[in-house]
Structure 1
Amino acid sequence: MMKKTHYNILMVNLPFSGHTNPTLGLAQILVQLGHNVTYINAPDWQSKIERTGAHFVPYDHYPDSLSEKQKKVKSWSAAYQTVLRMGKDYDCLIYEMLFFPGKALADRLNIPAYRLLSTFSLNEKILKEFGETGGFYLTSIFRFPLLRHFISKKLQKTFQLIYDDLAKEISLNAPALNFTYTIRDFQLDAKAFDDEHYQYVGPSINRPDEVPFDFTPFKNPIIYISLGTLLNRSVSFFKKCIKAFENEPYSIIISLGNRIKKEQLGTMPANVHLYSFVPQLQILERASLFLTHGGMNSVNEAIYYGCPMLVIPVGNDQPRVAQQVADLHLGKYLKRRSLNPQEIRQAAQTILENSSYKNTILHFQKIAQTAGGNTLIAQTIIKDLQTKP
C-alpha cells in the first residue's frame, strides 16, 4: 500500500502571543512542504495565520460582546468545540501546551496528536515551582491545592480529561512526540524528559519582510529594554530604567509598546531612544545587553543571538525563567519590588564588564542555532505520520 505524501493537518491554539507566535513558522513550513494546514484560533489572528499559507478557521461560538480578558477565558472551550466539530476529517492535531485538552481531544477523535511547548517541557515538579514563584497569575492554580482540585474537577468534566488533576493531565497525558522551543541545556529538570518523547528545537526564529532598523544614531554599546505586555504599562518602571542609564556611556533603546505615550516619560537624556515598536531580532543581533521581563520567547531569542540578559520578571513562568538565566550565568535576575535605578545600573554594569556572561551565552548560542527549529518539527511530524497505518 502506497504511503501518503500529503497530509491534512489541523493546528489549534489560544489567542496569546507567546503561545501562538512561535508556531506560525511551523504552519508556513508545512504548507511549503505541500501539506494542507488548517489553523484554528481567535479572529484577531486571522491575518497573521493566513500569511503563513494556512487556512484560517475562527473559533465557533466566540462572542464579540465580551471584553478581551473575558474572551480569552472563553477561548479554551471555543477552541475545544471547534476541534471537536472538525477534527475527525484530519490526519493529526498539532496543539500548543496551553491548550491542555489537546491530547484527550485527539484521542476522542482517534487521530494522532503532537504537542508544542513555548515554555519549558512540563512535569508536576516544574508546575509546582511555577505556582510557588509566579505570583497571582495563571500559574497560581498550582500553588493552592484546594483551588487546583476544584478547578481540575470542573475542567475534567468540561473537557473529558483523563485525570482529575490538571498538573497530572499536562504532565502524564502527553503525546508520544513533544517539541519544546528551547534547548535542552536551558531546560529545567532536564533529566526527567527523555530524548525519545521530547525534542528540543530551539527558538522559533521567523523574519519575513523585515524593514532594516536604522542603527546610525547609536555610537555606544546598546542596551535594549523591552518589558512585555504585563509590564509595559508601568510608567514608573520605565522612568527607573531611564534614570538608571541617563548620561551613561551606553545607547539605550526602549520599546514601549502601545500603552504608554512618549510624552508620559518627560524629557529624554540624549542617550535614551524611545520607540513604540522595534524589530526585536535585529536589535538583539547588535545589543550588548537585553533588559527583559523574562518571557520565554524573548529569553530564547536572546540566547539565539548571544545577548546577555538582565531579567526583571512579573509572574507566571517568568521568575523561574529568570532564575534559570542567573543559575546558568547567562545574565542576572532582579526582583521588581522596591527596585531602584542604582540597582539596575549596577547589575547591568556587572554583566557588561564581566566577559564570562558573554562567553557563556555564546556557547548556548551555538547550540540554539543548530537545534533545528520549526523545520525539524515539520520533518519529524511528517516522518512519524508516514509510520501510521
Structure 2
Amino acid sequence: MAPLASFVFPMASGHTNPALPLARRLVNLGWDVRFVSFPAFREAVEDTGALFVDGHAFNDPSTSEFVELHGFDSRLSLVVAMCSAIRLERAAEKLLGYFRETRPELVVYCPHLSAYAHLVARHLGIRSVSLLTLPGPGSMEKIAETCGLSSAEVCSLLAQNPPQLEALACLKTKLELPDLSLNTVPPLHRDHYSQLNLVTTTEVLADDWKEDAALYAAEGKTFAFVGPLIDIPGAKRCAGHSNQKEATEASETLPKRLPKLHRVCSAVDEVFPQEALEEAVAAGRQLVLVSLGTVITGDSGNHGWLARDGSAITGKEMCQSVFRAVFQALGQQTDEGPLLLVAVGPQEDALEGIDVPLNSICRNVLPQVDILRQKPVVFVTHGGQNSFMESMLVGTPLVVCPGFADQPANGAKAQAMQVGLCVDRPDKEEEVASYQTRVAEALQQVLEIPSFRDSAERVAEGLHAAGGVDRAMQLLIGNEQN
C-alpha cells in the first residue's frame, strides 16, 4: 500500500505554489498525496498528480468578518488571521476526523495560515513538516510592524481577547496539548512550527531571527533554508482569482479585443501566446515582466483591488499607476523594442482608461516562472516572497512596488542589497501625484545601471547552492524526526 501524505494549504497562491513541486515529486515516487486546497487552485493541484480535497470542508478562507466579529480592529486583519487561535480551533475540530479516517504518514502544511494541520498531527502522533513561504521565522515581526505593532503587542492583544482565550483553552483540551500558548506570548508562530521547517529562502536573505534562534534550538525545531522551490517547465500554478467573477470570463465593460499583438489576440482573458515569447527570445529582444501579485489584484476587502490598506491609494489605483509607468517608460506603438509582459489580474477594469502599447502582452495570468527562465532584463513586482526569490534565482533585477505584509520589507531588502529599487505605496495624499513618475524613473535606473544585474546574479549563486526541491525532498522523506 502506498504511503499517504496530506498537504494542507490556504487559499493563497504564494503559500501554495512552492508546495506543488514537492507534491509532484512524492507522487512520482509512488506516494498517495491528498492536497487540501480550494477550488480556484484545483487545476494546479491536480496537475501534480495529487488528489484534490476541498478546503472549505475544514476552513473558511475569509478574514474580514471573522476579525470584526471577535472584536479586533479591521486594520489588524492580516496579523490576526495569521495568529489567532479562533480559526485554528474551528478548523482543527473538522480536520481531526479527516486525519483519523485517512491516517497520513506525513503532513506538509503552511505554518502561517494552516497551522491547525500541525496541531492535529501532533495530537495524532503524525509527522508534520512546515513550509515557510515568508522570509524565515523572523518574518512575523516584520508583518506585525506593518500593522503598527510589535510582536509583543500582538501577543498582548490576543492574550486579552476572550474569544481567543476560549479557543486556546478548547485546543489544549481537545488535542491534549497543554503546552500551547498560540501567540499569547512571543515569539509569534512559535507553536505553528514543527520539528522540521523548510524555508524558501537562504539564511542570508531571511529576516533577522537571532533573538529567537536559541529558543527554537532548545525546542528541537530546525529551520532548513532550501531556497526557492521551482516546479518543472510548463507546470500549472495557482494564480489570481476573483470571488465576484471567474478570471476567464470576458469583460463586458472593456473592449473584448484590442489590436493584435505579435499576430496573436491581445485580449487579457486569452491563453498566453507562448510562441510570441519564443519569437522574442529568438530575435534577441529584451523581456520586461510586470506582475503585482494575486492579493492586491483580487477581492480581499482589506488588501485587494478596492482597499486602501492604510495607504493613500486603492489597490486598483496602485496597479494602474504601475502599468501606466511601465508603458510610459518603455511602450512603443510598433511591434518592436522590449516585449512587455504584464499580468493584470482578474478584475474587469484592470486596464480601464489605459492606452496599451503594441509592444506589450497583457493577460489575467502569466506563466511567471517559465518567463523568468528566459531571464528578463527587469521584473516590476509587488515584492511578494515567491516573486522576489524566483527573480533572484535567475539574476533578474527588480523594481519593487510593495502593497502590504512582507512586501515593504522585501522592497527595502532589495534596495539595500542593490538588486533593485523600491517605490513605496503612497501613505500621504501629497505623494500620490508623483507615484507613477517615481516608478517610471526607478525602472529606467534599473535598466541603465549594470550593477543591479551584477548584484542579482551574485545572489542567484547563493540561491542555487541552497539546494531547492532536491534538498527539500531529501529532508522531507529522509528525515525521521517526529
- Which TM bucket (shorter chain)? 0.7 to 0.9
Aligned residue identity for 2:116? P
User: In the alignment, what sits opposite 2:259?
Assistant: none
Aligned residue identity for 2:135? F
Determine which of 133, 138, 142 is the counterpart of 1:118. 133
CA pair 239-20 structure 1, distance change in 2 beyond 3 A: same
Residue identity (%)? 23
Aligned residue identity for 2:142? E
User: In the alignment, what sits opposite 1:297?
Assistant: 386
Matches of 1:60 and 1:230, distance apart in 2: 19
**Cα offset, 1:355, TM superposition:** 1.7
- Which residues of 2 match residues 50-69 of structure 1 at below 5 A? 50-59=46-55, 61=57
Question: Structure 1 unaligned runs (5+)?
Answer: none
**Cα offset, 1:351, TM superposition:** 1.7
Aligned residue identity for 1:165? N
User: In the alignment, what sits opposite 1:264?
Assistant: 352
Q: Is the 1:226–1:256 Cα contact (8 Å) retained in structure 2?
A: yes
Q: Is the 1:133–1:320 Cα contact (8 Å) retained in structure 2?
A: no
CA pair 32-220 structure 1, distance change in 2 beyond 3 A: closer
The CA deviation string for residues 160-210 of structure 1, in whole angstroms up to 9 with x for no partner, is: 370052554612563221101112221111656579811111112113546
CA pair 69-23 structure 1, distance change in 2 beyond 3 A: farther
- Which residues of 2 match residues 114-153 of structure 1 at below 5 A? 114-123=129-138, 126-133=139-146, 144=154, 147-149=157-159, 150=161, 152-153=164-165
- Root-mean-square deviation over aligned CA pairs: 3.5
Aligned residue identity for 2:121? A
- Comparing 5-14 with 180-189, which one deviates more in the overlay? 5-14
Matched, 1:347 2:347: no
CA pair 152-382 structure 1, distance change in 2 beyond 3 A: same
Determine which of 15, 25, 36 is the counterpart of 2:21. 25
Q: Is the 1:246–1:271 Cα contact (8 Å) retained in structure 2?
A: yes
- For normalisation by structure 1, the TM-score amounts to 0.83
- Which residues of 2 match residues 225-264 of structure 1 at below 5 A? 225-232=290-297, 233=305, 234=316, 236-237=320-321, 238-247=323-332, 250-261=338-349, 264=352
**Cα offset, 1:286, TM superposition:** 3.2
- Which residues of 2 match residues 77-88 of structure 1 at below 5 A? 79-88=91-100
User: In the alignment, what sits opposite 2:70?
Assistant: none
- Comparing 223-232 with 306-315, which one deviates more in the overlay? 223-232
Matched, 1:206 2:231: yes
**Cα offset, 1:75, TM superposition:** 7.5
CA pair 24-142 structure 1, distance change in 2 beyond 3 A: farther
The CA deviation string for residues 83-133 of structure 1, in whole angstroms up to 9 with x for no partner, is: 31132422232211121334332221122221111112214xx42322112
Q: Is the 1:59–1:79 Cα contact (8 Å) retained in structure 2?
A: no
CA pair 168-156 structure 1, distance change in 2 beyond 3 A: farther
SS at match of 2:421: strand
User: In the alignment, what sits opposite 1:288?
Assistant: 377
User: In the alignment, what sits opposite 1:306?
Assistant: 395
Matches of 1:213 and 1:152, distance apart in 2: 53
Q: Is the 2:151–2:187 Cα contact (8 Å) retained in structure 1?
A: no
Determine which of 349, 357, 365 is the counterpart of 1:277. 365
- Which residues of 2 match residues 91-110 of structure 1 at below 5 A? 91-98=105-112, 99-110=114-125
User: In the alignment, what sits opposite 2:418?
Assistant: 329
Q: Is the 1:13–1:95 Cα contact (8 Å) retained in structure 2?
A: yes
**Cα offset, 1:374, TM superposition:** 2.7
SS at match of 1:254: strand
Determine which of 354, 360, 364 is the counterpart of 2:459. 364
SS at match of 2:109: strand
Matches of 2:188 and 2:380, distance apart in 1: 35
- Comparing 189-198 with 109-118, which one deviates more in the overlay? 189-198
SS at match of 2:479: helix
Matched, 1:188 2:203: no
CA pair 286-169 structure 1, distance change in 2 beyond 3 A: closer
Aligned residue identity for 1:29? R
Aligned residue identity for 1:25? P
Question: Structure 2 unaligned runs (5+)?
Answer: 68-80, 236-272, 298-304, 306-315, 427-431
